[in-house]
Amino acid sequence: MEVLYASCVGVLVACGIYLILRARTFPVVLGLTMLSYAVNLFLFSSGRLTINKAAVLGSGSEYADPLPQALVLTAIVIGFAMTAFVVILAIRGRADLGNDHVDGHMVKSSKEQK
Amino acid sequence: MIQHLASLPILIPMLAGVLLLMPPCGKNLQIRRVTSVILSLVTVLVSAYLLFYINSTAPMVYAIGDWSAPFGIVLVADRLATLLVLLTSFLGAVVVLYSCAGDDKKGSFFHPLVHFLILGVNGAFLTGDVFNLFVFFEVLLIASYSLLMHSADKHSTRAALQYVILNLIGSSVFLIALGVLYGVLGTLNIADLAQKVPQLTGDDVYLAKIGGLLLIVVFALKGALLPLHLWLPNTYANAMPLVAALFAIMTKVGVYAILRIYTVIFGENAGELAHMAQPWLWGLALATIVMGAIGVLASQDFRKLIANLVIVSVGTLVALVAIQNVSATAALLYYLVHSTVICAALFLIADLIAQQRGKVADRLVAGRPVAQPFLLGICFVIAALAVVGMPPLSGFVGKIWILKSTLDSEKAMLFWPIYILASLALLVAVSRAGTSLFWDHKHKDSEAIEGSKAHPLKVTAVIALLACSPLMVVFAGSISDFMLATSEQLFDINTSINAVLQGGQ
């Protein structure tokens, strides 16, 4: 399970970073979303991976650590709000700057194509 | 009642933000302004009383919901945190006052957002839990994103987009670092972390090191440390000057986090990991000073110049963190208060100058004369002398103290020349900026724009900030005693760990 889980996180991070390095806002937003999924999974695993254990301390020799679950919940909520904000900002940027490039430059080739 | 005092600098701005959205304040601009000013002054008074209270007694540990540390979240109001809370509240009140002259009408929800920003910054300073630090970082960031878009034009949309994306990546890195630290140490309470880090053995040491060093990346991004400082000049120069003045405290949140984490958790008591971040911080800080100084010299407009001054001050502060002794940290605190206040004042002065110069605004080219050359000139000279570090203002005291406190360490060989040459560059650039802003006119007989005199509220706000600099010189004796006591308290790690883990009223 650990290997599967770790490679999931790794693939998500790799995809996220690749997309963040793109020049347009939409892939960047998708990349940020993927990165935050990866981070949430990673945070979740920081309490060790267990199956079928109660999330209570002291009720048995093994337990599922409840704290990372709370942390992940907080991170999901915050990440969701931030993604919503960046989507709105990207739309505003598209309207204000006339293109969807992250650095806002006009691309000459697209002009020439017109 | 008194044991809840530590939570008030967070609760009051939060309630203020909510209250300002409610009907009587939300609809009527006048009521909103009055409420906002009063509530920001209440925050200042409460912060000042908290500082006075904990200075005469012990640091206050407040367990939220009465869940004692390390299981619940604690607020720790020691001298360092409370000093910075007071600074934030003061800066917030000045900005609110300044905005009442008309800048708050240029976009929606200015007042609530300022209070939410104060809430986030105060929370980041007071919290004793690393994950809670992340939460308060996000609170202050989302408020800052929205403030950045306040009366935004094309350029600020672009700057805001880059700023938001960078900070979102930073947040992800922050969470990864916290996940690593929690996985290894099983706690996120700062005091508990400090207690558990020295007990690590084997591979866990390296994992904790990875987590700790990842945190530097995050704080360097927030604090604008080289090479993660590139967002700052653009963002600050494109934000409204008023908002940029408020942002002067935000880089200091990064510096504070570096100071706290790498003194308390990875400081001298941390066993194998003791001082693990120092070489990185030291090199990066010096490079930041150099880059900032070059940026100051190369700036084409005044606000960009001030933004680069902020970078120089961050470099200086982090270099002092890296030295890690009591007197250097005390000098750091003095310089931190001074540079925050003066950089904020400079942004506001830049706003006043830009409004009176018409089309050329704050670009450093020949233009119209300002309408109030005497008033603005005096303000500019005071701020410039203070920021460059010329006598007799607080910059000079801070600079002498910094140089003196670094004299004993072997690092002085590198720090002194860089710092003094950077000051020279600042002096050249700031005096050149002043010359072209005030004396360089396009035509000899060009006249000032009629009716562009600064609003009295704006002038009051600027003077309130500038007055801090001479006051910090007049009361330098007692202030430096306080800074030394603050710094000793920070370095007295065992006492503070015990206070947090056993206390919590």
Q: Which residues of B touch A39 (CB under 8 A)?
A: 172, 175-176, 179
Q: Name the DSSP letter for residue B448.
A: P
Which chain A residues in 8-67 lie under 8 Å from chain B, judged by CB atoms?
20, 25, 28, 32, 35-36, 38-40, 42-43, 45-48, 67
Q: Which of A15-29, A53-67, B340-354, B402-416 has the least mean pLDDT?
A: A53-67
Which range, A26-40, B363-377, B491-505, has the best average confidence (pLDDT)? A26-40
Q: Which residue of B has its CA nearest to A48?
A: B183
Nearest CA in chain A to B154: A96
What residue of B is the nearest CA neighbor of A31?
A: B169
Mean per-residue pLDDT, B226-253: 88
Q: Which of A39, A85, A102 sits opposite B145 (nearest CB)?
A: A85
Q: Is the CB of A88 inside 8 Å of chain B's CB atoms?
A: no
Contact call for residues B193 and A59 (beta carbons, < 8 A): no
Compute the average pLDDT of residues B390-396.
86
For A46, the closest of B168, B169, B182 (CB atoms) is B182
Give the gap in angstroms from C-alpha A29 to the nearest C-alpha of chain B. 8
Q: Give the number of beta-carbon pairs within 8 Å between A and B.
A: 91
In the predicted structure, residue B505 carries a pLDDT above the cut 50: no
By the 8 A CB rule, do B239 and B147 touch? yes
Mean pLDDT of B119-144: 92
Whether the predicted pLDDT of B214 surpasses 60 = yes
Tokens (6 digits) for B441? 């006119």
Q: Which of B169, B178, B188 sits opposite A20 (nearest CB)?
A: B169
Predicted structure pTM score? 0.91
Average pLDDT on B129-142 reads: 92
Which pLDDT score is estimated for B503? 62
Mean pLDDT for B31-42 is 91
Q: Is B474 helix (H, G, I), strand (E, B) or coil?
A: helix
Report d(CA B186, CA B206) in Å as an integer.
15
Which pLDDT score, from 0 to 100, does residue B255 have? 92
Query: What is the percent of chain B with per-residue pLDDT over 90, rounded to a whole number?
Result: 39
Q: Cβ–Cβ of B154/A97 closer than 8 Å?
A: yes
Handedness of CA B154, B20, B456, B451 (dihedral sign): positive
Terminal CA-to-CA distance of chain B, rounded, Å? 11
pLDDT in tens, chain A (114 residues): 889 999 999 999 999 999 999 888 899 999 999 999 999 999 988 888 877 777 666 666 777 788 888 899 999 999 999 999 999 988 888 888 887 887 766 544 444 444
Looking at CA atoms only, how far is residue A41 from chain B in angstroms? 10
Q: Which residue has the tokens 């002498």?
A: B400
Q: Per-residue pLDDT tens for B440-465?
A: 777 766 676 666 778 888 889 999 99
Report helix angle B203-223 to B250-260, nearest 10: 160
Contact A78 B135 (CB under 8 A): yes
Q: What is the mean pLDDT of chain B?
A: 88
Q: Which residues of B touch A78 (CB under 8 A)?
A: 135, 138, 171
Is pLDDT above 80 for B12?
yes
Left if phi > 0, otherwise alpha if psi is -120 to 50, otherwise beta: which for B39? alpha
For the record, the structure tokens of B152 come out as 């935004």
Separation between Cα atoms, residue B364 and residue B185, nearest integer Å: 53
CB pair distance less than 8 Å for B164 and A67: no
Instruction: Tell me the two tokens of residue A66.
Output: 């409840």
Helix axes B456-474, B394-406, angle to 10 degrees: 40
Q: What is the pLDDT of residues B173-211, one digit of tens each?
A: 999 999 999 989 888 889 888 888 888 888 888 899 999
pLDDT digits (tens, 9 = 90+) for B88-101: 999 999 999 999 88
CB contact under 8 A, B182 and A47: yes
Give the ipTM.
0.89
If one looks up domain A2-107 in CATH, what number appears? Answer: 1.10.287
Quick one: which H or E segment has residue B486?
helix B476-491
Q: What is the pLDDT of residue B451?
A: 66
B244-270: pLDDT as tens digits: 999 989 999 999 999 999 988 888 887
User: What's the DSSP call for residue B78?
Assistant: -
Distance CA B320, CA B406 (A): 8
User: pLDDT band for position B42 (50/70/90)?
Assistant: very high
Domain boundaries defined on chain A: 2-107
Residue A38's H or E segment, with its range, is: helix A25-45
Query: What is the per-residue pLDDT for B343?
Result: 92
Rounded to an integer, the average pLDDT of B424-451 is: 81
Q: Are B84 and B125 in contact (CB under 8 A)?
A: yes
Q: What is the pLDDT of residue B427?
A: 92
Q: Which token pair is B301?
A: 């407009």
CA distance B327 to chain A (A): 38
Contact B135, B120 (CB under 8 A): no
Q: Which residues of B touch A93 (CB under 8 A)?
A: 157-158, 161
